[in-house]
Amino acid sequence: SHAPGRSGVVRSAVVEGQQIGSYRIERVLGQGGFGVVYVGVDVRLDRRAAIKQLLPELSGNREIVERFFNEAKAAASINHPGIVEIYDVGWHTDGSAYFAMKLLDGDSLAKRLRATGPMPVIRAATVARQVAAALTAAHKNGIVHRDLKPDNIVLVPDEEVAMGERATVLDFGIAKLFGDKPLSQKTRTGMMMCTPAYMSPEQCRGAGEVDHRTDVYALGCILFEMLAGRP
């Protein structure tokens, strides 16, 4: 879900059967301009997880590593069923940073919209309400997501909630903790850190103080897309 790199392709740094920390890698789940996400198994607990590994060549960049670990820190501090659960963080033997999170068994909202087109009003409203609840928990913890989009929302089967699915928010990669020194909107290679179609005007302008309202704006854009079938 990160922005593509300049080449558009990132080669995975670990192959099937190798190990990152206590996780034996099964396969690549996805990749982007900053790293690779694997499906792995914790050899200690026999538990499958998603392993997000920052590319080794980026792991020497202090700003990028800070942002990467900030994602894990932000998600772990919220403790809400609508926020992906973080299991572990660490450094691989090749010097790359990684963290492990719960492997979500569901479709991204982006994939669902591509497959079905516009959603019925009641389903769209339910998804929006669940995302709003997760964002509320994040905002109460002083965390702004700043890159909310359909790719960062996974619809996970859950019989205990309305409509039988729970919207789960992930990828707090550029989340800002209130009071922390703000990180720049772009990396030193010039790659944009967020998705323009869902960015609030003040975030597009690069305003220094972007608060929780930028997430509210993004959620409004997402709700429109769920109802209209287009951004």
Catalytic residues: 147
If you search the block for the tokens 């290679």, which residue do you land on?
A: 189
| Three-class SS state of 79 | coil
What is the spatial distance between Cα 82 and Cα 52, in angstroms, rounded to a whole number?
19
First to last CA, the chain: 17
Residue 218: other Cβ atoms inside 10 A: 25
- Give the H/E segment covering residue 66: helix 62-78
Residues whose CB is less than 8 angstroms from the CB of residue 123 and which lie 6 or more positions away in sequence, other chains included: 163, 226
Q: What angle do CA 10, 98, 47 make, to 5 degrees?
A: 110
For the chain, state the CA radius of gyration: 17
What values do phi and psi take at 6, rounded to 5?
-65, -30
| Three-class SS state of 100 | strand
What is the spatial distance between Cα 116 and Cα 118, in angstroms, rounded to a whole number?
7
